[in-house]
Structure 1
């Protein structure tokens, strides 16, 4: 099966699975002033429950959360830390032993990384790209809701021992983000990262090789191909 055929099959599989989840309309670009005070209050009331947000990024977080209605009642903590990896999402250790919907998930946003990676930490991304990368991280949580303890252990093991499996999981997480309606924001993030790093491909903070064939995170050209075929984005 060709790469394009795999993309199309993946789109329609994920779309059929998630087509009842989209809460918001497709928007090409969000800006700091995109929300009125009333809209901000409504989003906070509807999607801010059980969420610990970062005040400086609350609007971006609420916009991204609004595309994931299945996470309304899930406990999510956004936090700032000095980390090499720009963003990472994990359940807390003890909540791993709870049912998936009763876990507490933590999205760690790096406020300081290496000199090279500082160019792509959250605060240095444009507004629309910030929402895109939050959508990617929330897509991880959406996926974790379907995984019990055993499958979560397999994910943790693969992160240590199987880069190929990590490539597949991150790539499919990008597809999931697109299916939730944040495709244009993901595209902005993909472009923003590659422009800031001055490289054509981005394989993650711990894998800065010059390999241009592997595609752990979708390259902009791939995202544009997916959007061009995706039923949610046809009007755009």
Structure 2
């Protein structure tokens, strides 16, 4: 599979990125660069708009990815994380991009300020990204990613606590999946009756 022309994807995670992108056809034309970073403060990945594109008609985004997955006593290259976990993580970040795409410049400025200064705002933003991912069919990947983080023996309790506090729980995600499936089933029944 060849990377789309408007995406920059490191070769070692190309399959995972392309799989996650396949769930977001509306991002096909969106410029997204997946960039390895040595260190991202308190995060493994983060989606950010490119400042120079904020005022144009088409925004571009960076998804920054920590080159190393830091454990309590060691670190492993991020591309050695299981494929489904990476797809879920990237799918979550693409959920942020979807959220950003639906905001105007003022909305993005409010988002940035809220994210910098309000834990409650961060929680809301992270849950919105998870919801976008679930609604795009990535529910099972997101659940696997949450379980991987929350049950990983070598991750710090501080990081696990942050994830549990700010993000949807695996149970919350499964409930979203159930609701989505029920809505799809009801829509199909209505369509069949017509």
What's the TM-score, normalizing by structure 2? 0.82
Q: Secondary structure at the match of 1:203?
A: helix
Within-5 A mapping of 1:195-234: 195-196=151-152, 197=155, 199=157, 201-204=160-163, 214=165, 216-231=166-181
Count residues in correspondence.
Answer: 180
Change in Cα spacing, 1:234 to 1:187, as seen in structure 2 (3 Å) is farther
Higher share in helix: 2
- Structure 1: 5+ residue runs without aligned partners? 1-39, 205-211
Query: What is the match of residue 192 of structure 1?
Result: 148
Change in Cα spacing, 1:80 to 1:95, as seen in structure 2 (3 Å) is same
Within-5 A mapping of 1:68-87: 68-83=24-39, 84=41, 85-87=43-45
For 2:30 and 2:144, the matched residues in 1 are separated by 27
Query: What is the match of residue 15 of structure 1?
Result: none
What's the TM-score, normalizing by structure 1? 0.68
Query: What is the match of residue 190 of structure 2?
Result: none
Cα distance, 1:201 vs structure 2: 4.7
CA deviations over 1:3-53 (Å, ceiling 9, x no partner): xxxxxxxxxxxxxxxxxxxxxxxxxxxxxxxxxxxxx35xx4xxx230001
Change in Cα spacing, 1:168 to 1:52, as seen in structure 2 (3 Å) is same
Change in Cα spacing, 1:160 to 1:179, as seen in structure 2 (3 Å) is same
Q: Secondary structure at the match of 2:175?
A: helix
Query: Are the aligned partners of 2:68 and 2:75 in contact in 1 as well (CA < 8 Å)?
Result: no
Q: Secondary structure at the match of 1:97?
A: coil
For 2:95 and 2:149, the matched residues in 1 are separated by 19
- Structure 2: 5+ residue runs without aligned partners? 186-194
1:92 and 2:50 correspond: yes
Query: What is the match of residue 154 of structure 1?
Result: 110
> Over aligned residues, Cα RMSD in angstroms?
2.6
CA deviations over 1:93-117 (Å, ceiling 9, x no partner): 2111223xx1110000001365539
Greater relative contact order (Cα 8 A, min sep 6): structure 1 or 2? Answer: 1
Structure 1 residue aligned with 2:139, among 175, 183, 186?
Answer: 183
